[in-house]
Structure 1
């Protein structure tokens, strides 16, 4: 899997950290605070948000639910509601730390391409003491188009001084996988409870599918792991 790879780029939520459950809770709490009825099928509603950047999601909420707050006020509220959870309740995906150490040992550059806010990305990396493993962080708010467009992955690859075809992406949802593929990169899908019902689609879109990063390390320790 890592043969001829010069850079590995991770999505954050559901890929590097186990945090997708958090946003379902925050959506419910936020809408309740605003006196807005929570969508009956919250899972389907959240699928509509996949790939959107932090600002784009705020725009979506403002328009769909007629929120009077400004975009900055909406985002600041989400940051307030999520900051403590990200730092104290969100865990790394199994084997993530060990895999980051392996990448560092091999001299492979590492980046993040996420739809989340830069503030939360920075805070969660610091909380887990892994910020030093990352050479470049890009958010969907910093590029013209969000996932499944390739923009965020291409910008991270440029920051890592790596050609797209020599980059390996880790993603947890179909739109993110498509973003990596649209960028001309290899993509490994990682299992996540939030996207379990999308497993068939994820397997079809990605080059590999793994349960966790320990499986990646195990594959890399075996001959013929990239087959």
Structure 2
């Protein structure tokens, strides 16, 4: 692999936000007598845009409510959270982003969620100077697991997909990168999630291990 750009997922990869999103969905669904389990959330909703999650939740639980009602409720809770604070960072996130930047690689963030959460992460955690491009679910018609967001990120960076390496924490996210003809590393603290990854070049439990593996096994080419 001759890599010139590293593309990070945001929620669950850079930002330690999945627990917060899980609790937000639990709050939304409590009104409809749905006791959302962490297993269901992680396997079906993590890494997927709110609009798609709302449709799936309505179908899975046979709810008598329009998906847009759930979307609006989830968005309101999320906005209230982000108005007070940024999501905390995953362990090793800033160090990993800084390392690849210092190696001369282009760094991007590719998320299936909205842009606002990423913007707040960049601003509040000092990522702005390291990140060259952000692509969110707002920027594409078809979000993850479709490849559109990763293809757009590569195009914005002026890179071929084969010159980019993605780092993802969910199966659907990894599928999006692989469908875009990118190599992908799966990073999750969950054994079951790591077991679900398919066609990733490496799976591990945290960004520190992922960064070390890339440094030792991938040919990194400075873009400067």
TM-score tier, shorter chain, comes to 0.7 to 0.9
**Partner of residue 22, structure 2:** 24
**Partner of residue 193, structure 2:** 198
Q: Deviations over 1:118-154 (max 9, x none)?
A: 1111112212111221111111232121211100100
Deviation at 1:51, TM superposition (A): 4.6
Over 3 Å counting, the alpha-carbon distance change for 1:85 and 1:30 in structure 2 is: farther
Aligned residues: CA RMSD:
2.7
CA contact (8 A) 2:50 2:71 kept: no
**Partner of residue 222, structure 2:** none
Residue 128 of structure 1, aligned match among 121, 125, 129: 125
Q: Deviations over 1:38-82 (max 9, x none)?
A: 245453255332453234335556786415975874354133343
Runs of 5+ consecutive residues of structure 1 not aligned to the other structure: none
Residue 56, structure 1, aligned to residue 56, structure 2: no
Structure 1 segments, 4+ long, off by >6 Å, are none
1-structure distance, mates of 2:115, 2:158:
21
- Counting matched residue pairs gives 216
For normalisation by structure 1, the TM-score amounts to 0.82
For normalisation by structure 2, the TM-score amounts to 0.83
Over 3 Å counting, the alpha-carbon distance change for 1:10 and 1:85 in structure 2 is: farther
Residue 186, structure 1, aligned to residue 183, structure 2: yes
Runs of 5+ consecutive residues of structure 2 not aligned to the other structure: 220-224
Residue 213 of structure 1, aligned match among 201, 207, 210: 207
